[in-house]
Amino acid sequence: MKHTQVAVLLLMQSMITLAVTKAATEGSLHIDTTLPYVTQPSKVTGNLHTSPKLFTNVSGSVDDEGTCQCSVYLPDTTFPVQKAEQLEIIAATLTKKFEIELSQVREYSKKIELYQQQILNLTIKVQHMEKSSISYTELDFQLLKVEINDLERLVTQLKFSLVGSNVVVEQIYLEITNLTILVNELESLDKNNILAIRRQIVDLQKRLKECEEGTNKTTVPPYFPPGSCIHRGLLNVSQPYIAKLNWRGFSYKYGSWGRDYSPSDPENEVYWVAPLNTDGRYLEYYRIYSSFDDLLLFKPMYERRITYGEGSGAALYNNYLYYHAYNSRYIVKHDIRKNTMVLKKELLNAAYGNRFSYAGVSWQDIDFAVDESGLWVIYSTENNMGNIVISKLNDTTLDVLNTWQTRQYKPSVSNAFMLCGILYATRPVNTRKEEIFYMYDTSNGQEGSISVIMDKKLDTIQSIDYNPTDQKLYVYNDGYLLRYDVTFQP
């Protein structure tokens, strides 16, 4: 604006000076001398140095000193002097108003910075009240409300003072509104119940601590004599004790192992380990150990070869190894001391040829089991549509004494074992956990659900054998020999 005023004044002064100077120079001798032409710029080029064009004649007079004097009137159409003066006045007014507004904006900027800092302090206070477990009084909330109301009033005034939209002011106003809502909610929550809630929390923490202390205490499970079934069944199993890798190596993932149960001499220690060949089907070699220490030290009493068993379902009972004969429904009784086959008998209607093996374990169509009452065999038949069939065997003659047909599909379980006349079946939970989930009681024909988690070392469990003497589970887990303690329900 100031530059415009200067340009207008300079233009006016230049034109007036030019006109007066030329008039004085050309008309100094004669009164009626024609005054110089007032020229206009060429309409084509806009250049003042083009040939002059007559605009008007002006008469003058000579004073006593001989000076020629004349008056020249420049019409408004040539240069609007009055409008230029008006414009100068307006420009000065606008400049003054602009300086006033600018000073107000600076003042508002300082206020906005102050409000932002106050809002930050209030936000910190509210967050502290949210996180703290201290019960605040009504006065605390009233003080917060006063501060927030002051801020809201000042920001409202600021909004009306500023013409148009201001993003910063709108954001501050929104934050104040949110703070108001939050403080009201905190106040409503705190009234009359925070202390009660805190008492409940303290009480719960105390009970939790007592529960943890009770859990950490070592509780001795009730004792049940070996070979007895005066308990109410399986309650839990311990963490696995990893004895070692089987004696043939890591590649021999399928097989079985356990401790012999001899009712006439239950304290006698005899262990067997029978890894299958690497195809996971042929049972050809097994070893017998006279103690658990000898097993750990790879000191077998003897190693034997048979031709041929099939699958990981073998079991040792009273110094005889019972196994499934290869590619048949025959079951075999084998004398481990003489390494001779004593008896071979067909298990009627039993499915074989990997028809109904366990989930994830091939060729285990027929699975032997031992418990307090003697020898059992677990298998499936076509008539029972692949569901588990349990038969009690005469260990001398291999005759079937009794049979129970369950409704549990055999290929849907990963393995099974017998304990006090009850069948327990497992299934995988993940690669490191197995669940005992199904039970069938042969004493009353009742089946039901159970949930006992067993940790394991590798993915697949190939066999589980229970021993009534030490009341442990012997598990063959992808070539590793695992052992679990069993806890019974009192």
**Count of H-run helices and E-run strands, the chain:** 6, 23
For residues 401 and 346, what is the distance between their CA atoms, to the nearest angstrom?
14
Query: How far apart are the two ends of the chain, measured CA to CA in Å?
Result: 103
Q: HSE, CB side, 13 Å, CA atoms: give it for residue 164.
A: 2
157 pLDDT band (50/70/90 cuts)? low
- pLDDT higher at 250 or 180: 250
Helices (DSSP H) in 45-166: which residue ranges? 81-131, 138-161
DSSP state letters, 266-332: TT---EEEEEPPTTS-EEEEEEEESSHHHHHTT--SEEEEEEEEESS--EEETTEEEEEBTTSSEEE
pLDDT at 173 over 70: no
| pLDDT value, residue 104 | 74
What's the whole-number mean pLDDT along residues 296-320? Answer: 94
Nearest residue to 73 (alpha-carbon basis) of 16, 7, 10: 16
Helices (DSSP H) in 191-287: which residue ranges? 194-216
Tell me the per-residue pLDDT of 79-133, one tens digit each, with 9 for 90 and over.
666 777 777 788 788 788 778 877 777 777 777 777 767 777 777 766 666 566 5
| pLDDT value, residue 34 | 40
CB 260 within 8 A of CB 466: no
Whole-number percent of the chain with pLDDT over 90 = 50
- pLDDT higher at 40 or 346: 346
For residues 396 and 26, what is the distance between their CA atoms, to the nearest angstrom?
158
Residues with Cβ within 8 Å of residue 482, at least 6 apart in sequence: 240, 241, 242, 243, 456, 457, 474, 475, 476
| 450 C-beta neighbours (distance < 10 Å), count | 15
Hey, which bits of 329-445 come out as E strands?
A: 330-335, 340-346, 367-371, 374-380, 387-393, 400-409, 415-419, 422-430, 433-441
pLDDT at 412 over 70: yes
Please identify which residue in the block is written with the tokens 């000898």: 294
Question: Residue 82 burial by CB count (10 A; 0-12/13-18/19+): exposed, middle or buried?
Answer: exposed
Residues with Cβ within 8 Å of residue 236, at least 6 apart in sequence: 452, 486, 487
Helices (DSSP H) in 366-477: which residue ranges? none
Q: HSE, CB side, 13 Å, CA atoms: give it for residue 301.
A: 15
Strand partners, 375: 370, 393
Tell me the per-residue pLDDT of 24-45, one tens digit each, with 9 for 90 and over.
444 443 334 444 444 444 444 4
| pLDDT value, residue 92 | 80
pLDDT at 213 over 90: no
Average pLDDT, the chain: 80
Query: Pairing relation of β-strands 330-335 and 422-430?
Result: unpaired
Q: HSE, CB side, 13 Å, CA atoms: give it for residue 288.
A: 20
